[in-house]
Amino acid sequence: MIDPFGRSITYLRISVTDRCDFRCVYCMAEDMSFLPKRDLLSLEELERLAGAFIRLGVRKLRLTGGEPLVRRGVMALVNRLGLQIGHGLDELTLTTNGSQLARYADELAAAGVRRLNVSIDTLDEAKFASITRWGRLPQVIEGVMAAKQAGLRIKINAVALKGVNEHEFDTMLAWCGDHGFDLCLIETMPLGEIEGDRMDQYLPLSVVRQRLAANWTLTPSTYATGGPARYFDIAETGTRLGLITPLTHNFCESCNRVRLTCTGTLYMCLGQDDAADLRGVMRASDNDQILEDAIRAAIARKPKGHDFVIDRTRSGPAVARHMSVTGG
């Protein structure tokens, strides 16, 4: 699949649920209303859609949410998709908050998952509880260590929040280095209505990088995962630092990915509202050729880039839907 700007689309992120057992302050309101279960695609429908994308050239699948591991029966889907590795699919990965990893780490490894992204914004237990509202850091750390023991490679994702965790990244780099984890820092994104002003949260990663360079030797890396992060090798630890900067340095020119929601809506760009309803197409016919044609038509509308911006003059988010709906 080639988009209008010559980019080959080889990476699909699939949200298996919009539900989550955390209520992170930068992601959703504490009293979040989730979709009725009847609106969600079945696991069989998610597998059918994934198969169509693989036939069309997708080589990497990432399961997301919400929190994907709270979806009932999700391991059946993971196991089925794992069978596609080496048969059109190169890699199956997962982004998780880590709350269920102690339970599922061994099963994920057995299914063919080799890498995980785990969201941890702070190693301070009280602050972690404050950021996630419902999360417990010891439970997440237990899950991360279970995943490490299972042989999974781990990247820790942290959203950089001004005045919250901005002075903790030296500590987090050291902790990740001790365990062989990469660390990826992410600028807050203007997605969905939250409580408070996003300008109060926004911390440019250009500032963070400058601060970290005072204590760490950061060398631009040739490493790439197909995602939006720019990586730096850390001489002192042998691990990597990734920076995802949709606001200070967007990554649109190399975008190779699209996102499928748990309701079958395909978003060609995280920062745009244009979307394609694949659920309706799929449920109207068992003919996969019709489904594949609909996917190709959607890719033909993929925009050049997003419209993310954060400033005091904009009263609402750049995109109204929450990250948990699109797929984190």
Residue range 251-262: mean pLDDT, rounded? 86
pLDDT of residue 248 exceeding 60:
no
Mean pLDDT of the chain: 89
Domain that holds residue 58: 11-155+252-326
Q: What pLDDT shows up at residue 194?
A: 44
Reduced to 3 states (helix: H, G, I; strand: E, B; else coil), residue 71 is coil
Say if residue 82 carries a ligand binding annotation: no
Say if residue 148 carries a ligand binding annotation: no
Say if residue 254 carries a ligand binding annotation: no
Residue range 266-277: mean pLDDT, rounded? 88
* Rounded Cα distance, 239 and 179, in Å: 9
Cis peptide bond upstream of 66, omega within 30: yes
Q: Is residue 215 part of a domain?
A: no
Say if residue 119 carries a ligand binding annotation: yes
Residue range 118-142: mean pLDDT, rounded? 96
pLDDT of residue 251 exceeding 80:
no
| pLDDT tier for residue 4 given thresholds of 50, 70 and 90 | very high
C-alpha closest to that of 165 among 48, 26, 5: 26
pLDDT of residue 199 exceeding 80:
no
pLDDT of residue 314 exceeding 50:
no
| Angle between helix 43-55 and helix 288-299 axes, rounded to 10 deg | 70
C-alpha closest to that of 32 among 149, 202, 192: 192
| pLDDT tier for residue 310 given thresholds of 50, 70 and 90 | very low
Say if residue 255 carries a ligand binding annotation: yes
pLDDT of residue 287 exceeding 60:
yes
Q: Is residue 234 part of a domain?
A: no
* Rounded Cα distance, 139 and 66, in Å: 18
Report DSSP state, residue 130: H
Say if residue 257 carries a ligand binding annotation: yes
Q: What pLDDT shows up at residue 317?
A: 46
Reduced to 3 states (helix: H, G, I; strand: E, B; else coil), residue 218 is strand
Say if residue 66 carries a ligand binding annotation: yes
| pLDDT tier for residue 274 given thresholds of 50, 70 and 90 | confident
* pLDDT tens, position by position, 154-164: 999 999 999 99
Q: Is residue 235 part of a domain?
A: no
For 45-59, 115-129, 242-256, 301-315, which range has the lowest pLDDT when averaged over its residues?
301-315
Say if residue 24 carries a ligand binding annotation: yes
Q: Is residue 163 part of a domain?
A: no
Q: Is residue 64 part of a domain?
A: yes
Say if residue 27 carries a ligand binding annotation: yes
Q: Is residue 245 part of a domain?
A: no
* pLDDT tens, position by position, 126-135: 999 999 999 9
Q: What pLDDT shows up at residue 31?
A: 83
CATH number at residue 84: 3.20.20.70
Domain count, the chain: 1
Alpha carbon 143 to its chain's center: 18
Q: What pLDDT shows up at residue 254?
A: 77
Say if residue 259 carries a ligand binding annotation: yes
Q: Is residue 126 part of a domain?
A: yes
Say if residue 258 carries a ligand binding annotation: yes
By the 8 A CB rule, do 89 and 61 touch? yes
Q: Is residue 81 part of a domain?
A: yes
